[in-house]
């Protein structure tokens, strides 16, 4: 999945690499930026942000007079984005005096302020895909049992295991192997750039309700189709037995 060159910069907590994908951002149906020379900038450890060369920005960038400071990237001008009569206030940053040289001539567009992002000709959701993240979805015959407060809420000998870089293995089980009578559907929705949009359930055991403890992807992206309609639980918050052995609860940002 890696399609970027070797790292070109690393300053403190900020890691910068040059990408090879064509990246486009849209607002109101108009192209805000179109580049084949993006920068991937790891502002946080989980995934990168896209920075676009200023020359590849087609929208008008209007200084707001405000600034935004970051210890690794320096001080940025805050810019309004205007294109085709549509405006996204304070949706861009420019670190023209950044201690990271590669950022000085680049524009950071706020992902959520744009209407759509494309990597090549495929729309990407939630955040840029990390070129170092791999997702493997494998059928298994392991015996998996999920308990909540000592009550078995799922048990299967035909789970599907999802391995994603940087995260614990996720055990997806058929709904027919889940105590759906203990699950209460919620209005929560989450998005993953590798899997798609997920729906959520809380788990009720007796009088205790554990909010948003299980999720499922009805129509996942092509690379994750094997988990369509299956249910997974937060290993961080439930007891998982694999082949009769209680697994240690992982410590992640979701715990």
C-alpha span between 175 and 163 (Å, rounded): 20
Q: How confident is the model at residue 13 (pLDDT cuts 50, 70, 90)?
A: low
Mean pLDDT across 64-87:
96
pLDDT of residue 168: 93
What does the DSSP assignment read for 154-185? EEESS-EEEEETTS--EEEB-GGGB-GGGEEE
In this prediction the pTM is 0.80
Q: How confident is the model at residue 50 (pLDDT cuts 50, 70, 90)?
A: very high
Q: Which CATH number fits domain 9-124: 3.30.1490.20, 2.170.150.40, 3.20.20.210, 2.40.70.10?
A: 2.170.150.40
Phi then psi for residue 182, to 5 deg, are -95, -5
Burial of 235 (0-12, 13-18, 19+ CB in 10 A): buried
Sketch the domain layout of the chain as residue ranges.
Answer: 9-124, 135-246
Mean pLDDT across 1-20:
61
Q: In this structure, what token pair is assigned to residue 30?
A: 């108009």
Model confidence pLDDT, tens digit, residues 187-202:
999 999 999 999 999 9
Model confidence pLDDT, tens digit, residues 120-166:
999 999 999 999 999 999 999 999 999 999 999 999 999 999 999 98
pLDDT of residue 56: 98
- 64 Cβ contact partners less than 8 Å away, ≥ 6 residues apart: 77, 78, 79, 80, 89, 90
The reply to whether 9-124 and 135-246 are identical in fold is yes
Q: Which stretches of 33-136 are DSSP H helices?
A: none
In this prediction, what percent of the chain has a pLDDT beyond 90? 89
pLDDT of residue 11: 45
Please say if the pLDDT value at position 80 is more than 80.
yes
pLDDT of residue 12: 52
Angle in degrees, CA 193, 12, 168, rounded to 5: 40
pLDDT of residue 38: 98
Model confidence pLDDT, tens digit, residues 61-75:
999 999 999 999 999
Mean pLDDT across 29-55:
95
Q: How confident is the model at residue 255 (pLDDT cuts 50, 70, 90)?
A: confident
Q: In this structure, what token pair is assigned to residue 149?
A: 């407060």
Please say if the pLDDT value at position 245 is more than 60.
yes
In this prediction, what percent of the chain has a pLDDT beyond 70? 95
* Contact yes or no for 157/186 (Cβ under 8 A): no
Which of 86, 107, 110 has the alpha carbon at shortest distance from 29? 86
- The distance of Cα 227 from the centroid of its chain, to the nearest Å, equals 17
Q: How confident is the model at residue 10 (pLDDT cuts 50, 70, 90)?
A: very low
Q: How confident is the model at residue 179 (pLDDT cuts 50, 70, 90)?
A: very high
pLDDT of residue 252: 82
Q: Which CATH number fits domain 135-246: 1.10.760.10, 2.170.150.40, 3.30.360.10, 3.20.20.80?
A: 2.170.150.40
CA distances (Å), 248 to each of 82, 150, 156, 236, 242, in order?
Answer: 51, 15, 19, 9, 11
C-alpha span between 143 and 46 (Å, rounded): 31
What does the chain come to in residues? Answer: 255
């Amino acid at each position: 999945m890696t399609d970027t060159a070797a790292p070109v910069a690393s300053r403190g907590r900020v890691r910068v690499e040059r990408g090879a994908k064509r990246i486009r951002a849209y607002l109101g149906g108009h192209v805000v930026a179109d580049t084949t020379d993006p920068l991937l900038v790891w502002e946080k450890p989980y995934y990168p942000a896209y920075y676009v060369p200023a020359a590849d920005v087609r929208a008008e960038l209007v200084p707001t007079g405000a600034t935004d400071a970051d210890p690794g990237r320096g001080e940025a001008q805050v810019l309004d984005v205007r294109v085709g009569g549509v405006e996204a206030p304070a949706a861009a940053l420019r670190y023209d005096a950044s201690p990271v040289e590669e950022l000085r001539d680049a524009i950071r567009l706020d992902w959520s302020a744009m209407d759509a992002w494309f990597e090549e000709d495929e729309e990407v959701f939630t955040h840029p895909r990390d070129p170092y993240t791999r997702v493997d979805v494998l059928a298994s015959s392991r015996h998996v049992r999920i308990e909540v407060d000592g009550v078995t809420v799922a048990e299967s000998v035909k789970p599907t295991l999802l391995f994603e870089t940087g995260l614990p293995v996720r055990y997806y089980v058929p709904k027919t192997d889940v105590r759906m009578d203990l699950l209460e559907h919620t209005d929560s929705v989450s998005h993953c750039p590798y899997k798609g949009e997920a729906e959520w359930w809380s788990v009720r055991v007796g009088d205790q309700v554990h909010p948003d403890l299980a999720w499922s992807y009805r129509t996942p992206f092509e690379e994750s189709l094997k988990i369509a309609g299956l249910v997974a639980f937060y290993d961080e918050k439930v007891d998982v037995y694999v082949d009769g052995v209680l697994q240690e609860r992982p410590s992640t940002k979701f715990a």
